[in-house]
């Protein structure tokens, strides 16, 4: 697979990531684009809680959903140490790997292949994690039911595309969270900028974040530069995600993400503004098990596949202290091993939320329970009835982009 193929794939993924697609649409389109390049018979595209690496949603292409089969796969993923686990791909920074190569052609060395995939006729598996700015926002699994195994070029392609897909997944999550999301503090806001750099509409949350970026009536230059990058990406003329960060008046940072409006011929761009924050183990889990702040940090590290020594280095504490925290955590959760801890948290909290149709959040955990008619919000939905009186429509230079 030559460099030109990788570059074409990068541009195709970047274009999709900057269109106004919902989570399902984005992943389905990704599958169609990349399947032509790599080739597989069945694929699963999942989102993950970046704090825990546990699954929050999935789009399956090539086979009807089978929750019993999915549960068996989860049991193997979280309860058995195996080749190419997602935690391993994330923790080592490898990003992608194929099962045939990882087992030296001896697929039976993999528990999930022997117990689950072989009876389904799977002859090779390609896995990837989608990591953006150090946090994992999703995973991919592609299966072949015959023919040649996945090659190194296929693996390298997915490793190269990982950050772009991670960024695209999070953009979809942000657009959903910018709509009504009960229980989500400080939600992201959305504004629309036309080709001349003028704001033509804002949500209430976006107005709040704008007030923390610049003086009233002054539009930071970063907004226009993000809009320009989004237009370029949507037309395959850009090479990088359309995003920027600006300091907040109250301290900290705001992040800007641009996406071209679907079907819009006037060059308008939707820009999502959010406060920078770090994904953390959901408060609901902390409350459920009365974990302390430090125990939460240790649990996050365990869920991401790190050893006691790695946890100690990351948190600046001794390995014996890590061991003491782990004993306390396992006592509170009523488990006796790391694998049991992961399986307990996923099976008791994440899986029921997934099966109920709850929407994943761009900050980990979920935003709200889905009703039968729920769907991702479009920019038109978000801006319906909000200010379009021309406020802030005269472009003005702001400070330099950090």
Q: What is the pLDDT of residues 25-53, one digit of tens each?
A: 999 999 999 999 999 999 999 999 999 99
Output the pTM of the full model.
0.85
pLDDT in tens, 271-329: 999 998 888 898 889 999 999 999 999 999 999 989 999 999 999 999 999 999 999 99
Rg for the chain, CA atoms, rounded: 22
Buried b (16+ CB within 10 A) or exposed e, 360-384: bbbbbbbbbeeeeeeebbbbeebbe
Angstrom distance (rounded) from CA 10 to CA 241 = 11
CATH of the domain at 338: 1.10.10.10
What confidence score (pLDDT) does residue 80 get? 83
Residues 23 and 85 in one domain: yes
- Arithmetic mean of pLDDT over the chain: 86
Residue 3: pLDDT band (50, 70, 90) is low
Structure tokens at 299: 């649990």
Residues 107 and 27 in one domain: yes
Q: Flag whether 245 is in a domain.
A: yes
CATH of the domain at 242: 3.30.450.20
Q: Give 124's strand partners.
A: 144
How many structural domains comprise the chain? 3
Does the pLDDT value for residue 377 go beyond 80?
Answer: no
Angstrom distance (rounded) from CA 123 to CA 150 = 10
Three-class SS of residue 301?
Answer: helix
64: domain range?
3-169
What confidence score (pLDDT) does residue 266 get? 75
Q: Flag whether 398 is in a domain.
A: no
């Amino acid at each position: 697979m030559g460099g030109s193929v990788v570059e074409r794939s990068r541009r195709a993924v970047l274009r999709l990531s900057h269109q106004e697609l919902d989570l399902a649409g984005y992943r389905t389109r990704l599958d169609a684009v990349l399947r032509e390049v790599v080739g597989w018979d069945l694929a699963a595209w999942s989102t993950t809680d970046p704090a825990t690496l546990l699954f929050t949603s999935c789009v399956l292409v090539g086979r009807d959903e089978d929750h019993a089969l999915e549960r068996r796969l989860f049991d193997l993923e979280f309860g058995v140490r195996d080749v190419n686990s997602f935690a391993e791909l994330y923790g080592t920074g490898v990003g992608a790997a194929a099962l045939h190569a990882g087992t030296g052609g001896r697929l039976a060395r993999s528990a999930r292949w022997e117990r689950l995939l072989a009876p389904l006729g799977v002859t090779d598996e390609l896995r990837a994690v989608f990591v953006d700015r150090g946090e994992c926002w999703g995973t991919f699994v592609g299966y072949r039911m015959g023919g040649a195994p996945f090659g190194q070029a296929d693996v390298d392609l997915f490793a190269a595309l990982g950050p772009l897909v991670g960024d695209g997944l999070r953009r979809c999550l942000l657009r959903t969270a910018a709509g009504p999301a009960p229980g989500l503090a400080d939600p992201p806001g959305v504004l629309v900028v036309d080709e001349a750099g003028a704001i033509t509409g804002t949500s209430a949350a976006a107005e709040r974040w704008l007030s923390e970026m610049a003086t009233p009536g002054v539009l930071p230059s970063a907004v226009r530069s993000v809009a320009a990058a989004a237009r370029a990406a949507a037309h395959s003329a850009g090479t990088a995600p359309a995003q920027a960060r600006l300091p907040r008046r109250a301290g900290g940072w705001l992040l800007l993400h641009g996406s071209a409006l679907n079907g819009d011929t006037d060059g308008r761009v939707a820009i999502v503004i959010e406060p920078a924050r770090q994904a953390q183990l959901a408060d609901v889990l902390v409350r459920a098990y009365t974990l302390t702040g430090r125990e939460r940090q240790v649990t996050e590290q365990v869920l991401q596949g790190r050893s006691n020594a790695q946890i100690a280095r990351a948190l600046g504490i001794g390995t014996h202290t890590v061991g003491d925290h782990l004993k306390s955590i396992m006592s509170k959760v009523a488990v006796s091993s790391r694998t049991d801890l992961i399986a307990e948290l996923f099976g008791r909290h994440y899986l029921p939320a997934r099966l109920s149709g709850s929407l994943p959040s761009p900050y980990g955990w979920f935003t709200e329970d889905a009703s039968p008619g729920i769907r991702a919000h479009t920019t038109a939905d978000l801006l319906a009835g909000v200010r379009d009186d021309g406020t802030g429509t005269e472009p003005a230079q702001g400070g330099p982009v950090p």
